[in-house]
Amino acid sequence: MSLYQKDILHLLKHGTDTESRETFFIRTISEEAHQIARQFGASIRTLMHLRLLQAQDYWHRDVLRLQETIRQAEPDTLPEPDEFKQAAFLAYWLRRRMVVDKVEADNIDLVRYMNEIVAFLIGFRICHFHQAIRPDIVGEEAKRRIRQFRLHEDYVWEVAIFLHHKNVSPHALYLIYRSLFHTAIPPANPTTTLAPA
């Protein structure tokens, strides 16, 4: 199962016709976490299912609160927080619930920071998928840039250390994700530029 699929945010919250929300969430997040660990030369021996379910519940609750805030500001809309907000809150709760319990790796820092690496990259991958399918991104060059956009490993380490040692809010994660993709794909028709005074 991959995070790179249509309606992934909805599926993570509600499940499918054949899988409950809990089963789908645990399986998808677990598979993604194991894949991320392998990319860093580590393996995850234990992923805490109870903590995953708690993360799912807290995340879903926060998304519902965001929807209510949007509804109050714009009563005539059907609110759905964008993928950056939803991914940020998901990454926040995956990190806070410490879903990665046991890590096997030669590098002691991987053991220490794998929970943060997994949480951050799961949020990043959700944002990456949604940016790759945006209908308003025109031109083959822009589409190629977003499809090939990858984070440097040093950057991931820095963010993981930051998340581990600081109480980083979901709103801060939202800004991190937004800024990454704003840099990757500048707007086609910029309207405002902030210049130094």
- Over residues 97-118, the pLDDT tens digits come to 999 989 999 999 999 999 999 9
Q: Give the model's pLDDT for residue 185.
A: 60
Q: How far is 29 from 13, CA to CA, in rounded Å?
A: 12
Residue 190 has pLDDT above 70, yes or no: no
Average pLDDT score over the chain: 89
* Confidence tier at 184 by pLDDT (50, 70, 90): low
26 token code pair: 């645990």
Which amino acid would we find at residue 147? R
For the segment 50-59, the average pLDDT, to the nearest whole number, is 96
In this structure, are strands 100-104 and 43-47 parallel, antiparallel, or unpaired?
A: antiparallel
Q: Give the model's pLDDT for residue 135.
A: 80
Residue 189 has pLDDT above 70, yes or no: no
pLDDT tens digits for 74-102? Answer: 877 767 899 999 999 999 999 999 999 89
